[in-house]
């Protein structure tokens, strides 16, 4: 016969394990609904209805940013490495909107092109000092090793 405190421990541990498992399963089931944006390959595989506003996220393909003559409109390509979606946006761009960096565009698909009403910059988890900008990863590593 278990002591009462051991009984409580076993019951509580079992209840918490079941609860955690339930939450993990729910999170897994929600992985599409809970996402903040679609990536280009998802947009290509399941194109949203023309009047439905969605968010598209991915990397701004290097060399794809093209400023229109009106000074506010910009065309660029958002890529997730598997698919590309051309995007057009007219308005003020966030400071971190640069080629090769992440972006989240809100808008809708019009004849194969994503017309964005709003643009958010998404930066990655890498933090690089200004002095090391433009260096390759190897150069940066060497600089760090030398200055230690």
Vertex 66 angle, CA 46 and 121, to 5°:
60
What's the distance, CA 70 to chain centroid? 29
Residue 104's closest CA among 122, 84, 83? 122
Q: Hey, is 84 helix, strand or coil?
A: strand
39: contact with other proteins by CB under 8 A? yes
The answer to whether residue 46 forms part of the interface with other proteins (CB under 8 A) is no
Q: If binding means CB under 8 A, how many residues of this protein chain bind other proteins?
A: 46
* CB count in 10 Å sphere of residue 74: 19
Q: Which is nearer to other proteins, 39 or 69 (CB)?
A: 39
18 in contact with other proteins (CB under 8 A): no
CB 87 within 8 A of CB 105: yes
Phi and psi dihedrals of 113, rounded to 5? -120, 145
138 binds other proteins (CB under 8 A): no
Q: Which is nearer to other proteins, 23 or 110 (CB)?
A: 23
Please report whether residue 51 would count as binding other proteins according to CB under 8 A: no
Whose Cβ is closer to other proteins: residue 81's or residue 129's? Answer: 129
Residues contributing to the site for other proteins (CB under 8 A): 5, 8-9, 12, 16, 19-20, 23-24, 27-28, 30-31, 34-39, 57, 93-96, 98, 101-102, 104, 119-133, 140, 144, 148
């Amino acid at each position: 016969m278990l002591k009462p405190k051991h009984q409580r421990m076993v019951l509580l541990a079992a209840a918490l394990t079941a609860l955690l498992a339930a939450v993990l399963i729910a999170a897994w089931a929600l992985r599409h609904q809970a996402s903040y944006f679609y990536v280009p390959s998802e947009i290509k595989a399941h194109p949203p209805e023309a009047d439905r506003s969605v968010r598209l996220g991915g990397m701004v393909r290097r060399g794809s940013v093209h400023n229109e003559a009106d000074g506010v409109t910009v065309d660029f390509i958002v890529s997730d490495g598997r698919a590309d979606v051309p995007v057009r946006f007219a308005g003020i761009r966030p400071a971190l909107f640069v080629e090769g960096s992440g972006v989240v565009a809100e808008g809708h698909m019009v004849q194969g092109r994503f017309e964005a009403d709003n643009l958010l910059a998404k930066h990655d988890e890498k933090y690089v000092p200004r002095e090391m900008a433009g260096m390759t990863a190897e150069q940066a590593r060497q600089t760090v090793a030398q200055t230690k």
